[in-house]
Each structure stands twice: as structure tokens, then as C-alpha cells.
A and B are shown apart, each in its own frame.
Chain A
Amino acid sequence: MNCIIIDDDTFYIEFLKNYCKKVNIEVKAVYQNSVIALQEISKLSDCDVVFLDIHMPDISGFDILKNKPNTQIVILSADDANAIKAFDYNVVDYLQKPFEFERFMRAINRVQERIKPAITTEQQTPAEEKEVSTNQNISSIFVNVNKKLIKLNIEDVYAVEAKGDYVLIKLDDKDNLIVHSTLKRIKEKLPLHIFTQVHRSYIVNLKKIVDIEDSTIVVNRDVIPISKGNRASLMAKLDILN
């Protein structure tokens, strides 16, 4: 793991360097001047986490946050007055100075939790793309229902739900099918430019989505949960007019 420190206070730069050293976190860069940090904002994405002080002369930590650095951010501040505002920028944690090593480690653990899903998504992306290219022209598949292979028109499927050792394939204007399979195996067969996983138990047909809220999605007339980890990839696949 590595980090960048942006703080005009030498004391906390040294403090953080010491804490980082104790847990083998590499300090890739230190910016004592927030103006330079903002000028070089693209470099921030090269690290796992940025420790960002809020109160700095000329350019505050919020000015840097407004420019959406593409990395995890842990805020440093001598007071808690800006905590709520900071979390609006989706920061990982807010360390009030002075902070103990244990508190620092809690922040690091939170960063690691956030990084994990990102790595998983990145690792999955090439495989998903490969699947898209393999499956994108498929219009039907055969599924085994009561020892009988039944042809399933892909366009008729609006959602697939995991049910233990089975999956429930939900169909437009037809009876749903229960198939002895897993969501993962079904997903491998479906064209991923039409279908996407929105939750560990649900795959949905993008063409059948009626509306989307924060944590749920309506597909046909079913309300289906969306997990936080899958929300971004769902939104990326939709054509959204901003």
C-alpha cells in the first residue's frame, strides 16, 4: 500500500510518515503546498490513499476534493466542523488531529476495504468484456427443466434470481422457470451488454428496467435490490441523460 500526504503542517507530515513506516505504507509524495498539489492532481491517482489536510493557506483541502482526485481520501483536520461536508465528497475517513496510531489504523483498514472491491472489479472487467464478445450475438439458450431441455428466448428474460442451488428465471408473459444452476453459470451464458448483475442474488435485463432508486431497481413490476458494489457498473451500462 502507498500514500500521498498533503498538509502544510510539518509536524503532521512527520507524524504520518512515522505511522506509515510502522505498517510498511510507502509515502510516495508529500505536498506542503496545496497549490502545487492541485496542479499535480492527476498524480494523486497513482497512490492508494491521500491524507489531505483541510485547513491550508491559499487552497483548502475542499478545493482539492472539488477537483475529484481519483483515489481514496482520508481527511486530516484539527476540528470536526467540516466532517459532514467532507463525507459528501465520499471520503473514506476523517481524522481529527491529534490522532492515535489505533485511529490511524482504523482509517487504513477502511481504505483497504474500499480498495478491495475496486481491485475485484478491475480484475473482472477483461473477463466480462471477453464474455460480451462471446455471447453478444446469442438470442436463445437451452435450459434443463425437469430433465427436459427447453429453449429460452433471451429477450423474454427480464431477471434471474438465485435461490440456493437453483435459479429462478423470470420471463415476460410466461411462467417463471426454476433451473438447477447457479447465478454465475447463467451469467456466463447471457450477453452482458443486455444483462448485468445488480446484486449477489440478481441479474437483470437492462432493456426491462423501469426505474432506479438509490438501493432498488424496478424491472417489469418487480422491485429488485441493488448492491453498492454493483451500482457503478449498472449506471455505466445505462444511457443516462444528465
Chain B
Amino acid sequence: MPIKVLFITNNESLKSSIHEVLKNNLGIKYLIIDNFELLTSEIKDNNYTHVISCNKINDALLKNYSNGITVPILALINETETAENSTFKTAKLPLTYTTLFSFLSKTPILAYGTLESYAMNDPEFITQVKGLIIEEFEANFKEMPQLIINKDLTEIKSKTHQMVSKFALLEMNDSFELSKEIDLNILDEPEKQLQNMAYLLVDIEIALTQLK
């Protein structure tokens, strides 16, 4: 499932900085809403995976509006503010890509059970296969943006095809399904699958953080 971030801020300058931070990453869908009133309906109706609030936030406020929502929440606070909460994470303003990505990558998207079992619980073998996956993901993460720009569909298909089974090994089920879709359909519906590839790149970036 692609990463979808719901930003909450009524500050126009912060809205601009959010657009600026995300302008080069086509793999993260996002929406900015002014206040908490639309929080529950947006998350439920549009499957947002993360919430980042630049508006003042506290547990009581969240309790009022979140209505059982369990997606991870980050509150961006001023240098002078202190965090007083237990249900959400905090980071200091300004919003940077590093802050954003650090928050996104804290949600686990992979598990090692299948890989360990397939590597027969042999620690040396596990380390070796993990290292090979990291190598492959790093190379693809580096090369794929240019392949997307060049619309080199054959090469994208080939690299995606090789990653399908690695996503299965890492129990990254959404990425597994998405990569299969790209592999099967990119030659017939390039525009849609190039966008899916951009989403998949975010998964790869997060996976790399968690694998290392």
C-alpha cells in the first residue's frame, strides 16, 4: 500500500514548506487539511497511512477527533515547545525530508520470519542473504529514478521482476503485490505502473533503513 501522509496545518508558510519538501518525491501521496475536523473521515475514506500535525496537538484533542484511528501520528513543534503526550511522536520544526522520512521509516514494513526459515536459521546464511537484498535494493533505489525519467520500461520490468520474490521473503506483502502488478503490466499501461514504481521506491527506501 503506498505511503499516504495527511498533514494538518492552517499556516500558509508551513503548507509551502510541505510542498517544497515533497516536490521531488512522487512516491508519497499527501494532502494538507486545515484542522482536525476532517481527520477521521480522510483517514478512513482515503486510507492515509500517516498523520503529521503542525497545529497544536495534545492527547485530549486527538481523543476527540481520532475516533479509534491507529495510524502513526507525528506532531511538529517549535523549538521552544516541549512535548507533553503519550500517544504520538514529536519532532522539531522546520519540516525536512530527513524528519519526514525518519518518521515514516519507524513503522515496520518488513519481518524476517520467512527469510530466516528459508535460510534454515543459519546465522551466516541469513546475514549473507540479507546483505544481498540490501545490495540489490540499494542499486535499484539509486538507478530506478533515472529509469523512470527515461521510461526504460524493459529495464524497470526486469529489475522489478527480480525484486518480487525478495519482497515475499521479507513479508512485505503490499510491496510484493505492487511489484507483481508492475512486472505484469508495465509494458501495457506504462503511466500507471511508472507511478506505482514511484510508490514502490518509497517502500524500498524504508526497507533499506530497516534492513541496515
Residues of A within 8 A of B (CB): 9-11, 14-15, 18, 22, 55, 57, 78-79, 97-101
Q: How far is the CA of A30 from the CA of B39 in the complex (A)?
A: 55
Task: Say whether chain B's binding surface is mostly helix, strand, loop, or mixed.
Answer: helix
Q: Are B117 and A100 in contact (CB under 8 A)?
A: yes
Given the complex of chains A and B, what is the CA–CA distance between A197 and B185 in angstroms? 52
Q: When A and B form their complex, what is the total count of cross-chain residue pairs whose Cβ atoms lie within 8 Å?
A: 44
**Which residues does B use to contact A, with CB under 8 Å?**
114, 117-120, 122, 125, 128-129, 132-133, 135-136, 158, 161-162, 164-166, 168-169, 180, 183
Which chain B residue lies CB-closest to A57? Answer: B158
List the 9 closest A-B pairs by CB distance, nearest first: A97-B165, A11-B132, A98-B165, A78-B165, A78-B164, A98-B169, A9-B162, A100-B118, A18-B125
Nearest neighbor of A76 in chain B, beta-carbon distance: B165
Q: Identify which of B114, B117, B129, B158 contacts A11 (C-beta below 8 A).
A: B129
User: B132, A14: Cβ atoms under 8 Å?
Assistant: yes
- Shortest C-beta distance, B152 to chain A (Å), equals 12
CB distance from B110 to the nearest CB of A (A): 14
Closest chain-A Cβ to B31's Cβ sits at a distance in Å of 35
Contact B132 A79 (CB under 8 A): no
Give the docked Cα–Cα distance between A57 and B161 (Å): 11
Inside 8 A of A18's CB, which chain B residues have their CB? 119, 122, 125, 128
Could you say which residues of chain B place their CB within 8 Å of the CB of A101?
A: 118, 120
The chain B residue sitting closest to A18, CB to CB, is: B125
A230 to B50, CA, bound (A): 66
**Can you give 19 contacting A-B residue pairs, CB < 8 Å?**
A9-B162, A10-B132, A10-B136, A11-B133, A15-B129, A18-B125, A55-B158, A55-B161, A78-B162, A79-B164, A79-B180, A79-B183, A97-B165, A98-B118, A98-B166, A100-B117, A100-B118, A101-B118, A101-B120
